[in-house]
Amino acid sequence: MSQEPTHKSLDEINQSVDVPSVYETSFVQKFLAYSGPGALVAVGYMDPGNWLTSLAGGSQYRYSLLSVLLMSILVAMFMQTLSIKLGVVARLDLAQAIAQKVPKGGRYTLWIINELAMMATDMTGVVGTAIALKLLFGLPLVYGILFTIFDVLLVLLFLRFGIRRIEFIVLTAILIVGIIFGVEVSRAAPNLIQIAGGMVPTPKILTNHEMLIMSLGIVGATIMPHNVYLHSSLAQSRRYDYHNPKQVNEALRFAKWDSNVHLVAAFLINALLLVLGGTLFFHTGGHLSAFQDVYDGLKNSAVVGNLASPLMSTLFAFALLITGMISSITSTLSGQIVMEGYLHIRLPLWERRLLTRFVTLIPILAIGFLVGFNDHDFEQIIVYAQIALSIALPFTLFPMVALTSNHALMGIHTNQRYVTIIGYLLTSIITVLNLQFVIAAF
């Protein structure tokens, strides 16, 4: 096993939640005790970047890209499982584990790459929140962006309650968003047989260039670096006997249950968005590309017929506001993990949050002024943020597969050969697809 770092990952929440002993028998009690980190991670799979790609994919290709969404979430489950294993077994987050294996220059390089990725993640939350505020209250985008500075106070307030309260707040938010889209999709009455057919991959995805690019966008928006860093740390938030092999096995088992259940929830929400776009906007020509288009379309009878309602559009904007704001929590924690793990620098959370937010706001405001805060052009920031995340992804996944395949670090929990092969194969495929996405974007 590796030498433990001087400071625990996310020290303020590390081992802060009690869980039942391995000798207790209640599955439900144990599942509830371990449940929570998966909800925080799932938020990253339903941020505004996912919204844009799912809605656009549905409006252009109806339900055909549901299969891409399904495959993406299955790959995400595999990767998050490796992240959990690293945190529980090695008691290191991914940044700490990488930092132990690379020289100083390499650490700084990886920190810069991942810091840019964390900023890109933060950008999607800022833009999504600002647009939601404009849709709901008519607040100009520039003021909505500046308003997001105050979510620093929101995050700090949440953290004062402890990680368990944050998990509950985030889980509640996910349920609210899921109910909103469940209601909207049920009112749209989509064709269930066609939806089931969309779950089956079709060769057309690879042969149709535009369809392929949209598929790559869905993959890039689904599998992101910050979720892997975050989960390797949050998996350590439960307090149990690390020296008891049975307890470690149980921690791994229930952490995986927690992760997979919440990732299924994230898949369902993204699928509902894609179905919403495919059911209500496919007939409009398939060029849905902005949140404003959806908001206006949901209350326009010429677009969605007798389903048109101000309530439908308001619920959509409210769900966007919720996801934009709660993504700030996860981007804050991920940024803290990356900075502390790679640089061994510990800043007070409020300083870290303000620094991240101001650095994020500078390019957003600069781009905003250049395009006159035009809604459609402004939302392209989210697209370019996805490109930045795509570039950073190989520097996250390749090391994680290597580390969890290291017997000196993982002991009896070292990846089996077939897991290592699958991990490298999937990471290579994702890397090639992301490179294609980046090339196509330019």
User: Consecutive 10-residue runs of the chain (442 residues): their mean pLDDT?
Assistant: 64 89 88 94 86 86 93 95 96 95 91 87 85 92 85 71 86 92 88 93 84 80 88 94 92 96 94 90 64 84 78 91 85 85 79 72 81 74 75 91 96 96 94 77 64
Q: At CB < 8 A and 24+ separation, what contacts does 302-311 make?
A: 304/188, 304/280, 307/187, 307/188, 307/280
Residue 2 pLDDT: 47
Q: pLDDT at position 284, please? A: 64
Provide the token pair at 137.
């209250």
Whether the Cβ atoms of residue 18 and residue 113 lie closer than 8 Å to each other: no
Q: What is the pLDDT of residue 4?
A: 52
Q: Are 69 and 267 in contact (CB under 8 A)?
A: yes
CA dist list (Å): 427 to 49, 76, 399: 21, 11, 10
pLDDT, position 288: 56
How many beta carbons lie within 10 A of that of residue 6, not counting itself? 8
Which of the 8 DSSP states describes residue 2? P
Q: Following DSSP, what letter does each residue of 181-236 receive, concatenated? A: HHHHHHHH---HHHHHHHTS--THHHHSHHHHHHHHHHHHHHS-HHHHHHHHHHTT
Residue 43 · residue 333 · CB < 8 Å: no
What is the CB neighbour count within 10 angstroms for residue 234? 31
Tell me the domains of the chain and their CATH numbers: 27-441 (1.20.1740.10)
* 298: nearest Cα among 418, 156, 188, 423: 188
Tokens of 104: 């100083």
CB atoms within 10 A of CB 376: 12
Picking from 27, 19, 96, the residue whose alpha carbon sits closest to that of residue 343 is: 96
Cβ neighbours, 10 Å, residue 349? 18
List 17's β-bridge partners, or say none.
238
Which amino acid is present at 107? R
Round to whole Å and give the CA distance between 81 and 99: 21
Compute CA distances 62 → 46, 76, 190, 291, 319, whole Å.
Answer: 19, 23, 10, 18, 22
State the pLDDT at residue 420: 97
Q: Identity (one letter) of the amino acid at 80?
A: Q
**Which helix (H) or strand (E) element contains residue 339?**
helix 310-343
H or E element at residue 238: strand 238-239
Q: Let me know how long the chain is.
A: 442
Give the integer Cα–Cα distance in Å for 60 and 285: 7
- Residue matched to tokens 């052009």: 377
420: tokens are 């290592």
Asked if residues 188 and 307 have their Cβ atoms less than 8 Å apart, the reply is yes
The pLDDT score that the predictor gives to residue 417 is 96
Q: Return the amino acid letter for 231.
A: H
| Residue pair 230/330 in contact by the 8 Å Cβ criterion | yes
Closest by CA position to 376, among listed 45, 50, 52: 52
Q: Tell me if 114 sits within 8 A of 339, measured CB to CB.
A: no
CA distance 80 to 46: 15
Report the alpha-carbon distance of residue 113 to residue 267 in Å, rounded.
28
State residue 441's pLDDT score: 63
Q: Residue 152: CB partners within 8 Å, gap ≥ 6? A: 350, 353, 354, 357
